[in-house]
A and B are shown apart, each in its own frame.
Chain A
């Protein structure tokens, strides 16, 4: 562990230096924080540890205050969502002084990856593509609907995500497939590739808000991200909005607002 470059170059929080059945793995490194995969209480219980290291260029008191505020804000949002039945990871532990938040590990792959695998498996020639167009899109449409309904439930709870993309949604592996992953190959696998719960992750930019504007911006950001990462599935985005409307009573007003946001872009004010 100590000779892996990721571990020595950026020291992990102290807790990750304590004994565990498996060494922590650095999963992702963002501008604000790092995500480690480690274990919670028991060797067979994986968890995610989000660490916000202190920034040497900030005044120590300000730094501690910002870190604390951000860790706690994220934890509170997750708690609220979980209680309301929005599919998000559970919070296991927090240490706002050390700058970390420990969460449930969601077993699966980002929706972005799953959609691209699905689309990529399609034939490439023009003729074959036309044929594929008429092929069964039911699994993809069903996934779009699950995404829309997850966002509907999130907004109903009074939370906006702030960074909705298909990378911030995990398609959770259905429980019964978790242990025998290699039973059915080919058509069977393809038919099930888009199955599973959609779990929303990374609430680092989330805020508690019930404003139509904020909600519309959430949808707009996803729409734009979706169009650029999955251009071949862009026309299916309508399914997301449709099921959003079915899940969330105040959706019509948000969707009207979305029209405005599309016209002018994400920023209402010219600041920031």
Chain B
């Protein structure tokens, strides 16, 4: 089983978050229809992995949602859509869905987060329930959510455009690839933290 339960520093104690990563998904159109139809059974954050550079970036987005939820004021209908939006360095919600959410036909590799709040304890699905549901409806190959797996999905041209990394002096000065990638990730996380404010 490759459903992971994430533990994050300073996450609200009532939150339980599961994460999964599917590659080569062929039914992204179906998944997007469920989101558009507000099907309550499909309350997930579906993230297009081609616009993601690392696991840390995903965790950052999740943390930012927890932060916004702390003081209230989600910009989108729920925490799951908020995760997709929090990956964006800007304020435009439709653009964020387009870039980091599912695009039918083009999205192949999907990172999935499920945020459960443990308030009504009886109704909270278990990790097994979540995994069974995902396996049934996501037609793709499950892989662990690691930097290596994400690396194979990243479309750097896209990432550089979305986060305005082209011509960033901070990156041009770095010689080694690993160092440049790490600094790009840092700049991305900083842009996400500011979200166009």
A14 touches B70 (CB 8 A): yes
A98 and B73 alpha carbons, distance in the complex (Å)? 12
A110 and B103 alpha carbons, distance in the complex (Å)? 49
A82 and B194 alpha carbons, distance in the complex (Å)? 13
B10 touches A20 (CB 8 A): yes
A27-35, A86-94, A128-136, A235-243 - the one binding chain B: A86-94
B9 touches A82 (CB 8 A): no
How many residues of B sit at the interface, in one of the four size bands?
20 to 34
B194 touches A41 (CB 8 A): no
Q: Is B67 on the interface with A (CB-CB < 8 A)? A: yes
B64 touches A93 (CB 8 A): yes
Helix, strand, loop or mixed for chain B's interface?
helix
Q: Is A43 on the interface with B (CB-CB < 8 A)? A: yes
Could you say which residues of chain B place their CB within 8 Å of the CB of A97? 71, 73
Instruction: Tell me the nearest residue of chain B to A13, going by C-beta.
Output: B70
Q: Is A57 on the interface with B (CB-CB < 8 A)? A: no
Q: Is A38 on the interface with B (CB-CB < 8 A)? A: yes
Q: Tell me the minimal C-beta distance from B138 to chain A in angstroms.
A: 26
Instruction: Tell me the nearest residue of chain A to B8, going by C-beta.
Output: A41
Q: Is B191 on the interface with A (CB-CB < 8 A)? A: yes
Could you say which residues of chain B place their CB within 8 Å of the CB of A39? 9-10
Contact of A96 among B11, B13, B197 (CB under 8 A): B197
Contact with A along B165-196 (1 / 0, CB 8 A): 00011101100000000000011011101100
Could you say which residues of chain A place their CB within 8 Å of the CB of B169? 83-85
How many residues of A sit at the interface, in one of the four size bands?
20 to 34
Q: Tell me the minimal C-beta distance from B6 to chain A in angstroms.
A: 10
A78 and B191 alpha carbons, distance in the complex (Å)? 11
Contact of B67 among A15, A16, A75, A104 (CB under 8 A): A15
B194 touches A91 (CB 8 A): yes
Q: Is B88 on the interface with A (CB-CB < 8 A)? A: no
Contact of B194 among A85, A94, A98 (CB under 8 A): A94
| Given A72-B197, A93-B193, A97-B71, A42 contacting B10 (CB threshold 8 A) | no
B13 touches A82 (CB 8 A): no
Instruction: List the interface of chain A (C-beta within 8 A of B).
Output: 14-16, 18-21, 38-43, 45, 72, 75-76, 78-79, 82-85, 90-98, 102, 104
13 A-B residue pairs with CB within 8 Å:
A40-B63, A42-B8, A43-B9, A72-B194, A79-B190, A82-B190, A83-B168, A85-B170, A92-B193, A93-B60, A94-B193, A94-B197, A97-B71
